[in-house]
Amino acid sequence: MSIIPNFFGRRRTNVFDPFSLDVWDPFEGFPFNNNNNFGSLSDQVRSSSETSSFVSANVDWRETNDAHVFKADVPGLKKEEVKVEVEDDRVLQISGERNKESEEKGDTWHRVERSSGKFVRRFRLPENAKVDQVKAAMENGVLTVTVPKVEVKKPDVKSIQISG
């Protein structure tokens, strides 16, 4: 096992997002001894949390002239299994849970690739968001959350005549 840290091992889609609540792990890639098992601090934190690999529910956030629009991939989930909340006045939280499929006695599983468990995604909303008018809809495994924006009033410009 290499002791050299892998600083480029995980690619992020955004270089800098001031609204993101993602936490950077400066120790990611460094081996740590955990009961004689080597793994990064990130791996240890992830494995000890209640969430599973489903935590990577992909979310797109785009801003239009009228709203902030979030689209989250939540395939196989019903709308009753997903929650959309605004907490602390400016934090949009999308969460849910996919339960494991029940194992029948006598079944033989050849492969289990579909993830299960809880997921939580949080986004700090900017000041121009109307947090009291958030709407959500789900269609074909895609959750769409629309957060309207406050209308920006254009300043009144008055020309001043220059004398002289």
pLDDT of res. 17: 52
* Lowest mean pLDDT segment, chosen from 45-49, 86-90, 147-151: 45-49
* Lowest mean pLDDT segment, chosen from 58-67, 89-98, 105-114: 105-114
Tell me the mean pLDDT in the region 37-57: 47
Cα Rg, the chain, nearest whole Å: 22
pLDDT of res. 92: 95
| ∠ CA 16-17-23, rounded to 5° | 85
> pLDDT higher for 121 or 29?
121
Q: Which residues contact 66 (CB under 8 A, 6 or more apart)?
A: 148, 149
pLDDT value at 49 more than 70 = no
Give helix then strand counts, H and E, for the chain.
1, 9
DSSP E strand stretches across 6-150? 32-34, 37-39, 59-63, 67-73, 82-87, 91-98, 117-124, 135-139, 142-148
* Lowest mean pLDDT segment, chosen from 25-39, 41-55, 68-82: 41-55
Q: Which residue has the tokens 């480029």?
A: 8
- pLDDT bin (cut points 50, 70, 90) of residue 88 is confident
Q: Which one, of 21, 43, 20, 23, lies nearest residue 31 by Cα?
A: 43
- pLDDT bin (cut points 50, 70, 90) of residue 57 is confident
pLDDT of res. 110: 85
pTM for the structure as a whole: 0.60
pLDDT of res. 76: 87
How far is 151 from 32, CA to CA, in rounded Å?
Answer: 51
